[in-house]
Structure formats: structure tokens, C-alpha cells
Structure 1
């Protein structure tokens, strides 16, 4: 009597080679696959899974999203660079300032500064999109910056024949607010220690609100104090104090009071923290106005020009230690840096 051929529709089953049913059945009559021939389609699918993918012979391009600290370091090392730290509480207009500046560059030179490239173009386009007509929004909108590690937007710019890089730090406003509660939070903020310019944003819309005015007036000095106490400004960067959302201020019945309050904030910062900074300048901007009749990007050209000003050279204190050895009495010859 001829031996019965063991057939299973499941190609992975090895019962025909003396193994056990892959479905775990001792009674093979209960297995749905046993005794059936494999379908032709199964073989074709198996062949597709094993299809060899042709090697990629193109060029892999780096992403163009905002940079982390490591990649920002590379930019700083490749060209003469300016690091801009932007400090602002939640919804003070930080993202709008960055996006508004990028949109101005697409129209031509800004304050005789020419856009010369960026490694974060996709990131810049993303934050600009919701403020453009193409987004089909009823009014301009900016996504809030997520909490976490700082990211940097990158511009290469040409001014007076000199090519430079501009790195603008983007960190969640809540993290800056926390510095007012715990000054030690400032110690990890790399963008502030390395900054050539610190830009403090004063929310014009909230300053025009009788409910929010006191919070705006009080929060900014506390944030700067927390950073100063932890040596965040050891390089003595220049300081730009920027009133944002001036379109909302001008539409308010309290616009005269806002102007007085803004001047009071500037004077208070000068009196309390002038020793921590180089030059201090103030600016009024409408980076992304809600009113279509207001010029988008007003005031940003003057702010950019201030950003490009050279700051005070960081000064160190040379300390001498004498242990009685001959080497300790040798003089150090000063040399100019190239």
C-alpha cells in the first residue's frame, strides 16, 4: 500500500519533513490547512517579499529642520557667526518674529543685509505657512514652540561683502518663565551663554490688557534676574528689548499707557542690569499683524541691523598661582588673535 503524501497549505509548516503541525494540532483532521495544496498567490507574495531592492544611486540630502545644539556648533565653527537668544514668555511673538524676518528676506535685502542661504529652510517654511494666505486661515497664526531641547533657525547673510551666519535660538517660553521661579534653570541654556545678542520680547497685546499688564511688567525683570544670577550673560551680549504685536497696541484705547509702560520696562532693565550687557536698544514691531492693513514685518529691519552689530569682547581675568617653582615666574607673552 502506497504511503499517503503529507500536504499542507501553510508553506511554513514542516509536517511533511517529519515535524509537528505548526498550528499545534495532534489530530490533523482539525487543521484547516492540512491536506490542502498551497495557493499560487502565496508563492508570488513570497517571491515579492524576497525581491532584491536595487541599490540607491542618488544623493542623500540632509533634512532642513531646525538645528539641535550639536549641529548649531558646526555652523558656528564654519563661518563668522552671530548667536541670537530670544527670550519671551508663552505667546509673546517669538515664532512670529523669526517667521516675519524670513518672509522679509524673500522680498529682497533687509537693512542692506542679503539672504545668502539656510540649512533650516523646511523649518522656516513650516513656521511661516500659517501666516500666509495659502494656509486659508482667517487670520495669521503661529504654532507654539514645544518644550524640550532648544532648536536653532539658521540664516547665512551677506553684508558689506562679508558672509556671516545668523543662528536664532528657539526655546519654549514656559522654560524661560521657570527661570523666574528657580534661577538654576538658566545654567543649561547654552544659547544664552553663547549669545552675541539677547532679545527680550514684551507682548504688546498683553501689555494693553488691564488684566495682564501687571504680569507682563513683573515677569520680564524676574527672568533676566534669574539668568544674570547664574552667569548666563558672561559674554556681555548686546540687549534688544522688543515690543511685539504693535498692531494690537495701536488698535487699543490704552496705547498711550502701553508706550509709557514699555519705556518703564526699558528704564528698569537699564538701571538693574546694564552691567551685564553691552549696548542696549529698543524696538517696536508688528511681525505678523492680524489686521491686513498693517505692514507685515514692521520694525524687524531695525532689529536685524542691531543684531548684526558687533558686541563687546568677552573679558577674562588672568589669575596667577605661585608654587615656588621656576616656571611660575615666567612671563606670558601676549599675542594678537588671528
Structure 2
């Protein structure tokens, strides 16, 4: 409560939207306004540069949701900041979400390589993703929530590098693996995935556990090569993009009593085939073995993530190719390949 110039008591509220001072009614519907936690508290007022009083955000303010970003929200980030967009492609349970969560978890312990945590607009999303892999979740085995079919979201990090620009933004696209696998039989689906042509690094994930079984490893190879082929033929990849082939769950490979050498050699052969067939479609190609959330002592948590993060955050090659004039492709139909012949007009 306050006092006006005529020494009359004036009721006030810390919530700028409340009119209790005018009609004595609490906007929260509380029958006894003095019991409201905002009742009687001062409303902060800030003087604007032109002298006009501006109401400051007070109790009851709506904070950013801090959940995963939509495609529209991610686009606003890309326009506002120096950003690197990463698309992670792989079948269900290959470890996409676990890899994203591992990046966030490692920043809880300190810098990752040359990068330090500089902020995030999706902290709640990171926390929800990482929770089930922690001991606090009381799960017997680390677990990550499955991404919903047809849904595209983005995780955001602001990073500070000691050797590079003052601050750089990383956006990680998150889509269900089944959506990407479906492009093998319907390439047109890929044209509706906006994260693919816009990504600076296309990251293809191969499940290390699948490579331990002879019956499964050939399916893993097929999924990796056929999916990448579908994306290239659908025209959603760009020559300025970087391509990363990631072997996930490397700790499981090392822990296997048999099959580990064959699995690692199979991955090397897959990398060679991918480089030979599709390397020319990308500005750079590199492989990374990682252990995002190891279940054994054969790898430390986040092994390989620092090298992968460094690759993801390289200066975007799209800036170097911005002025390149693309070579026109020949028309698919014969009619489109006909040349126009100019003739003189008869008098």
C-alpha cells in the first residue's frame, strides 16, 4: 500500500496487468487481495531515453519456454547469429538424441576442446533429453526419449571459442530416424525436410552394436548408403556441405567378446565406399568413432565428441561458395533440351 499526494492510501500490486488499485479486484481471482503474494509490492518503473515511463517486467512475467525450437524459431536464430546447423541422419536407436545429450552433459563438466558453454535457448529440452541417462532417473540402463514421427525440433547452444570468433551458435536438428529411412523408397519425402539443404554438416550415424552381428551389419551398411543416395538424388544436399560418418556406441564394440575387429574393419570399408560414391558431392568427408553414453568402462563418457564438435563448428563452407555460379543441369525431357534458333524477319 502507498500514499498519494492527498495522504489517501493507494492500493498497488507488483503485477503490471492487475487493476486492483482501480477496482479493488485481484486479476488472479483471489477473494482476499491482501493474501496475494504481489499485493502491496511496488511496480518497478524504468525511465526511457525520451523521459517516458516504461513498466518493467514484474512478478508473473512469462519467460522463454526453453524447450526445443520449432523450425520457425530456428530460422530466426540462423538469421540473427553466426550459426552452424547440424543434421543428424540415422535409423531409430542409432544414438542421435544420445549424441545431442552428450554434448550438453559434457559442458556441465567444463569446456569441450576449445569451446566453452555460452548459453542456450533450449535448456529444458536438453535437461529432459539427458535426464533418463542419469543415475537420478533410477533406470537400470541409460535411456533417451524417442523422437516422435514427423516432428522436427532443434536444440540450441551458444559457444565461445578461445581461438575463433567471440561467440558461435550451434543448432542440432532432431527428427525421427524412421522419417529418414523412409526416403529410401520415397525420395520426394526428403524435399520436405528443410534441415537437410540448410545444414552445414550432414551427419550419418551407424550403430556400432549392429556391426557386431553379421546379419545386422549389412543392413546397417545398406541403410547408411541408400539413405545418403536418396538425399543426394532428391537434390537436398549441397556441395558446400561437410559430411560426417559417425560410428556410435564404440564402447559396445570394444566390449564384445568376439566380432570387434570385424566390426571396426567393416566400418572402415563402409567409409571407403561412402567416400568413393558420394565424397565428390561434399566439400569435406570425415569419420568419427564416438561413445556418447557408454555402458561399459571400454570408453569414457563423450569419447570422440570433442573432435566431432570441432568438425561441426568449422567455418561454414557455404560462405566460400556463395558467389559460385551453378552449372545448369540438362533438362530431363527432350523438349526442354531444344535450342531456340533465331531467324531473320522477312521484309
Instruction: State the alpha-carbon separation in 2 of the partners of residues 52 and 155 from structure 1.
Output: 45
Cα shift at 1:127: 0.7
Instruction: State the alpha-carbon separation in 2 of the partners of residues 292 and 308 from structure 1.
Output: 29
Cα 1:49–1:316 shift into 2, 3 Å: same
Indicate yes or no: 2:70 matched with 1:68: yes
Question: 1:240, 1:283 within 8 Å by CA — same for their partners in 2?
Answer: yes
Cα 1:318–1:226 shift into 2, 3 Å: closer
SS, match of residue 118 in structure 2: strand
Instruction: State the alpha-carbon separation in 1 of the partners of residues 32 and 172 from structure 2.
Output: 45
SS, match of residue 212 in structure 1: helix
| Aligned with residue 316 of structure 1, among 310, 325, 340 | 325
Instruction: State the alpha-carbon separation in 2 of the partners of residues 293 and 269 from structure 1.
Output: 28
**1:129 aligns to what?**
131
Cα 1:210–1:63 shift into 2, 3 Å: same
Number of aligned pairs?
274
Question: 2:86, 2:202 within 8 Å by CA — same for their partners in 1?
Answer: yes
Cα shift at 1:210: 2.3
| Aligned with residue 162 of structure 1, among 151, 156, 166 | 166
Cα 1:49–1:152 shift into 2, 3 Å: closer
Cα 1:294–1:312 shift into 2, 3 Å: closer
Cα shift at 1:318: 8.4
Kindly provide the CA deviation profile for residues 91-147 of structure 1, in whole angstroms up to 9, marking residues without a partner as x: 000011001111111111111111100000000011101111111111211111111
Which structure 1 segments of 5+ residues have no match?
Answer: 1-47, 325-338
Question: 2:288, 2:308 within 8 Å by CA — same for their partners in 1?
Answer: yes
Equivalent residues in 2 for 1:133-148 (5 A)? 133-148=135-150
**1:287 aligns to what?**
292
Indicate yes or no: 2:264 matched with 1:262: no
**1:211 aligns to what?**
215
**1:307 aligns to what?**
312
SS, match of residue 162 in structure 1: coil
Q: Pairwise CA RMSD of aligned residues?
A: 2.3
Cα 1:49–1:116 shift into 2, 3 Å: closer
Q: Hey, which bits of structure 1, 4+ residues long, moved more than 2 A?
A: 48-58, 310-319
Cα 1:268–1:197 shift into 2, 3 Å: same
Which structure 2 segments of 5+ residues have no match?
Answer: 1-27, 39-57, 329-339, 343-347
Instruction: State the alpha-carbon separation in 2 of the partners of residues 316 and 152 from structure 1.
Output: 31
Question: 1:247, 1:286 within 8 Å by CA — same for their partners in 2?
Answer: yes
**2:279 aligns to what?**
274
Cα 1:181–1:318 shift into 2, 3 Å: closer
Instruction: State the alpha-carbon separation in 2 of the partners of residues 203 and 171 from structure 1.
Output: 17
Question: 1:194, 1:235 within 8 Å by CA — same for their partners in 2?
Answer: no
| Aligned with residue 182 of structure 1, among 186, 191, 196 | 186
Question: 2:196, 2:237 within 8 Å by CA — same for their partners in 1?
Answer: yes
Cα shift at 1:311: 3.9
Give me the TM-score of the superposition, normalised by structure 2: 0.74
Cα 1:58–1:260 shift into 2, 3 Å: same
Question: 1:68, 1:149 within 8 Å by CA — same for their partners in 2?
Answer: no
